[in-house]
């Protein structure tokens, strides 16, 4: 294994250890000492690979963004059939991953707010949501192209609606862990997304 490979592997191990500490103790109680102990390295090694605690936390946020994108793509890959089925299957598959690891969602929100508090890193928060929307937009485009159909509203608009809806449901779920209600909310979101995608007329519009 080359030195570059070894360094990349060590960085990956440290990021994974940081995620475990954040999930267990929360951002406020996460220290470089705890991270080093979890990763099995000394604090000098942490500084060598990441420079500062902030640099490490921002690297973790980027890794969380990557993981969320991968979850969304796996959800889409496991679905087939009509546009309605693809939307429904993808949303429920993604939601299942939220229910399985709610602590990862808490980490993302904590790190997003942390980044926004630091002007030099606020771009990470913007990049995070731009990245999520880009992934969802790509998946929607692929689904419509495969079905030889056209989305009734701009795909970018639909993608942001989906991300915004999921964000709200996730925040409520990690607050009270009400699985029954959150599943019902996901069903409602699915119906709204399908209606927008297919161009169903809104009830508040004049005929």
Structure tokens at 162: 């989906």
Q: What is the pLDDT of residue 118?
A: 85
- Chain segment 102-148, per-residue pLDDT in tens: 999 999 999 999 989 888 888 888 888 998 899 899 989 988 998 89
CA pair distance 85, 77, nearest whole angstrom: 12
Identify the pLDDT of residue 204: 45
DSSP secondary structure of the chain: --HHHHHHHHHHHHHHHHHHHHHHH-STT--HHHHHHHHTS-HHHHHHHHSSHHHHHHHHHHHHHHHHHHHHHHHHHT--SSHHHHHHHHHHHHHHHHHH-HHHHHHHHHHHHHHHTSGGGHHHHHHHHHHHHHHHHHHHHHHHHHHT---SS-HHHHHHHHHHHHHHHHHHHHHH--HHHHHHHHHHHHHHHHHHHHTPPPTTS--
Q: Are 163 and 136 in contact (CB under 8 A)?
A: yes
Domains of the chain: 1-51 (1.10.10.60), 52-198 (1.10.357.10)
As a whole number, the mean pLDDT across the chain is 89
Pair 115, 61: CB distance under 8 Å: yes
Banded model confidence at residue 11, pLDDT cuts 50, 70, 90 = very high
**For residue 197, is pLDDT > 50?**
yes
Query: pLDDT (tens digit, 9 = 90+) per residue, 144-187?
Result: 998 899 999 999 999 999 999 999 999 999 999 999 999 999 99
pLDDT digits (tens, 9 = 90+) for 69-94: 788 778 767 666 789 998 998 999 89
């Amino acid at each position: 294994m080359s030195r570059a490979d070894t360094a990349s592997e060590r960085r990956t191990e440290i990021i994974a250890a940081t995620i475990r500490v954040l999930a267990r103790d929360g951002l406020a109680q996460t220290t470089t000492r705890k991270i080093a102990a979890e990763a099995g390295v000394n604090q000098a090694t942490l500084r060598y690979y990441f420079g500062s605690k902030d640099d490490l936390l921002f690297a973790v946020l980027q890794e969380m963004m990557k993981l969320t994108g991968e979850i969304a793509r796996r959800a889409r890959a496991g679905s087939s059939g009509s546009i309605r089925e693809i939307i429904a299957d993808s949303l429920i598959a993604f939601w299942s991953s939220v229910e399985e690891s709610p602590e990862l969602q808490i980490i993302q929100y904590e790190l997003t707010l942390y980044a926004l508090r630091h002007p030099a890193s606020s771009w990470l928060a913007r990049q995070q949501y731009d990245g999520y929307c880009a992934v969802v937009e790509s998946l929607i485009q692929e689904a419509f192209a495969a079905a030889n159909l056209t989305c009734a509203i701009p795909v970018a608009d639909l993608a942001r609606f989906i991300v915004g809806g999921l964000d709200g449901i996730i925040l409520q779920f990690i607050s009270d862990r009400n699985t029954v209600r959150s599943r019902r909310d996901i069903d409602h979101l699915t119906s709204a997304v399908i209606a927008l995608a297919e161009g169903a007329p809104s009830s508040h519009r004049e005929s």
